[in-house]
Structure 1
Amino acid sequence: MGGAYNVLIARQPIFDAKLRICGYELLFRSQQDQHQALFDDPDGATRDVIINNFMAIWDTGSKNRVFLPAYINLGRQFILSHQIPDLPRDQVVLEVLENAGFDQLLFDALVLLKKDGYTLALDDFVYTPSKKPFVQLADIIKLDVLALGIEEVGRQIELLKPFGKRILAEKVETADELEQCKVLGCHLFQGYFLSRPTLTKGKRIPASASVLLRTLDALSKGAGSAEIEQIIRMDPGLTYKLLRLINSAQFAFVREITTVRETVNLLGRIAMKKWLTMLLTVCNEQCISEQIVLALTRARMCELLAEQKGEDTADAFILGILSSLEMLYGVSISQILQDLPLDERLAKGMKGVGALGELLLITRAYEREQWNMVERLAKAPYDPGVAYMESVGWAGKMAAGLA
């Protein structure tokens, strides 16, 4: 599993207080040693894999190809070896693991990295007076909210205030924890709070999404292109988005497509369902861009896994988007699905049951770096590492095109 990569690679976004992305942590699981730190294997195989694919996983699809900093975990052995690859200094943050051993040897090695222009972060940090020189040397201090608890995070921040360092709260699991960490004075944030929205009772999905769900329902029931056009034209903004999409480089038609009916006829019903489902990701103006990227990545990965297994790729893509609607709208899945009766396979898939459900379980486990579950579920012919790498690049490009 993992194909030519020999590792499972994922990335987790890092945000500022306004939820603007300012970096990604590169997370990985090596097949050779499932507990190694990144770049800490003796033969350098994992290091070469990451370097060779560094730009691929970091391509966010930006037209200007702006690459955000990558936070990379380094263990003691690799730091002391003085064999850090020649990575672009403005595109990486080197994280010193908590078990690296804070002694003079490590300090001297970190001083050399600092002089060489690297940004340093101390991972899963807990302050003690003996670590003061390391705090003074570092640029970013990462505090594990899940392990420490909010009260201890606050105490650690008070101890660290005199040093004037940026504090990164990691493993922030909920929107409530995010707000508490902001109040305490954290500058950067990382965790699964995006995929665990605060659900508001009685909240409804946006009008554009309602039209899309009605259109998908009509397509499933065999409605003709004229009826589909009539539904979509109820929302001028949706009509515009659909026509812009069909005339994009993604399709590269020779002439401009100017009507919804023509779009339905050209795409066909299966492809139409897929692309309409994708438009569900941009109906909520309150969504931040990374939520859209996450939803598209999930859908594309489900689709690619289905292709590897010989399952229905269109249904797999749709399932990936539908499973993201709770995150995108802050509305419970049960309420959303009242407006979209699903066939039995998709309904079971939403619950993680059946062949489609297996695709979703693997994909969601990969998102959360639940490597043991990934390895248990993703037996051959699945290759989740390859599917994820392709999905990240594809999702970034598509999100940029939908913006």
Structure 2
Amino acid sequence: MSLSATGGTPGSAPAGGQTSVSMIARQAIVNGQQQVVGYELFNRSRSGTAHTAATDVILVFTALSHAGTEDLVGKKLIFVNCTHESLTGGHLELVDPDKVVLEIPPLGHVAAEEVSARLPILQGLRMRGFHLAFNHTVLESAYAPWLPLADYIKLDLSVLAPDQLAVLIRYAGRQSKAELIAEKVETAQQYDMVSSHGVQLYQGYWFARPALVETKLLSPSQASIVDLINKVRQQASTDEIEEVLKKDAGLAFNLMRLINSAGFGLQREITSFRQAVMLMGLKKLFRWAALLLTASRTGGAPSSVGQTAVVRGRLMELLALETLPPQEADQAFVVGIFSLLDVMLSMPMVSALGLISLPEPVVAALLRREGFLGDLLTLAEACESSNDAMFDRAAGTLHLSSQQINMAHLQALAWADNFTV
């Protein structure tokens, strides 16, 4: 699984927009009515990859920034296996804790002092609103300090005998407020047994095998990520940070997708880069960019498709500024930079637009070339072709002269080409 970034060469115009394909397996966790309450996620992209804090980061962000023909987790809970090292990672500050269940592993050769040393970290996660899940070892006396923090306790039917299960279920009911999840339920007999003891959540082949889901992310250029990090560290203005986002379609898409995802927990839709920057804040923006860079890979040339999208966006913005205030002209930029989203994601435009929240005029322009924004997009497309008739019709509709359009087009090309690190 990868949030990989393609490296731009110095002096190039790394517009982003290359697609990274990943494979995530998800297995449903269901209740007694077989309604899905959450999904446990597994990395299935790279066999043999060690489970590290970095893979936790990638798993969570791929889930929240998922681009595919269906929602990966929707509004369900996300169960994510963790390492103790990953629990202090900055990536956890970028998600809505109410949507995430962190599965905490046992310590192996447990010692009372080590259990105590980890306690403040776990308490801090709970205070921030994360749900915590443990396996049945949390019911052992050595882990007594952790038990009050458990929201879920998983009981592995492949390693626990029926008599052990009965004892553990009774003990958990007396000593904790955790919901019990019977995992690796593979037969009707196992289901009947654990449900008769009062277990109400289940996971396993009897209900659903892990299903592979292909995910796609637009990969920002490494140069763009570095530039964004530098701007944030310098506490640059919102305008300067917005400029970096405008020059990389992949960076812009991933930020808008993340900030509008259920995992980010905002109550209203964010429809402009400026809003996204201001609401995310410099601290979170820096962490997000740093994690993207950590997970990135070098290699490859800037995408010509992404480059075209950036030029379109800037051209449309410049032309919109002839008649519209800056805030409305920003929507023209959004239309331009996302006008090739179907090509970048290799899916129909209607499916691609279902992945991000955009104002209706923007959607109408992208899908049907409707309204003022649709006319601007038609004109931008005409500027890339030799179709003089289409160019003249669009220019006439918008009451723009050839001189105005040509000047804006040259400015847009220069603006994109001047983006270097």
TM-score category (smaller protein)? 0.3 to 0.5
RCO higher in 1 or 2 (8 Å CA, sep ≥ 6)? 2
Please report the TM-score for the alignment, with normalisation by the length of structure 2.
0.41
Please report the TM-score for the alignment, with normalisation by the length of structure 1.
0.42
Larger radius of gyration: 2
